[in-house]
Structure formats: C-alpha cells, structure tokens
Amino acid sequence: MHQLFRLVLGQKDLSRAGDLFSLDDSEIEDSLTEALEQIKIISSSSDYQTNNNDQAVVEICITRITTAIRETESIEKHAKALVGLWDSCLEHNLRPSGKDEDTPHAKIASDIMSCILQNYNRPPVMALAIPIAVKFLHRGNKELCRNMSNYLSLAAITKADLLADHTDVIVKSILRDLSETMVFWFL
C-alpha cells in the first residue's frame, strides 16, 4: 500500500488525509484494493459509529479511492474489494436517525454504490454487485433504496439477465414503496 495511505489509515491521521489528493491517480492505483480492505477493518470496529475522526478519515479515503478508480478506469481490478466493503455495510444500521441524517455506514454505502453502479455497462462488475445491491432494497433507508432502484433500472437495460434471479425482491420493494406512498396520500 502507498505509504501515505498506510499512514492515514494505519494511524487514522485526519491531518494528513487531505494530502492523498495531491498524489497522482496512477501513483496510488495499485494500493486501492488494500486501502479498501483497511477501511473495511476500520469501519467494522466497535466504536466506529461514535468515532468522528475515524469516520472523517474513512470518508476522505473513500472519496480519494473512488476518484482514482474512475480516473484510471480500474473498476474491474478493484470491484471485489469495493463490493466487499459495500457488503459489510449491510451488517450495520443504515436507517437515518430521527433528524434524517444518514448513519456512518449508510454514507459509506452511498459512496460505494455510486462508484460501482455507474459501471452498469460492465457485466463482470455487475455480476459481483447486483446480489449485494438488491439486499439494500429492504434495509430501511429510503434514499439508498431510491438510488439503488435507479441504478438497477440502468443495469436492466444493458444486462437484464443479471437481475433475473432477483426479480422477486425488486418487485416486493417496488410494491412496498407504492403502498407507503399511497398511505401517505390518504393521510
């Protein structure tokens, strides 16, 4: 892993995290999978939900990683690690708090979702992502669910067979959202 990623993630050094943006994308591209694995460890720690420093470090690092993946067009190389981190978010609370603020893991999930699913036209990436994506449809975060539905509809246009095994979950999610909307109209 690049020494700056090692420093920032190993010591959870927020003061140096911004320096990651001064590095060229090609300089860090080989470190991205290992950095994602380190982020998974940090975000799975028992105090992550309440540790603002760790959350800020993770948020900055994810932004830097997803930018580098997009700029180097290396999504296929890092898809497994991205999907692994994304999947780990499902083990945590994703429901917004009473003040409509996303939980730390919902923020990670949202950032990773857009990086992965913007590549809906890349079947190898979608083959890894879609089984995890559909799990988010019934996790209680309406914004994540709405965005997921948009991305899944794009994936269906280019590679519908990848969604075939998940049709039941997708339809149930649509029906649940429709019933919630109709209840709202009648109130």
Amino acid identity, position 91:
E
pLDDT of 16 reads: 96
The distance from CA 161 to its chain's CA centroid, rounded to whole angstroms, is 23
DSSP 80-123: HHHHHHHHHHTTS--S--TTSPPPHHHHHHHHHHHHHHTTTT-H
pLDDT exceeds cutoff 90 at 77: yes
Domains of the chain, residue spans:
3-185
Global confidence as pTM: 0.84
pLDDT of 100 reads: 66
CA distance 182 to 187: 9
pLDDT digits 0-9 by tens, 162-186 = 766 766 766 666 555 545 554 445 4
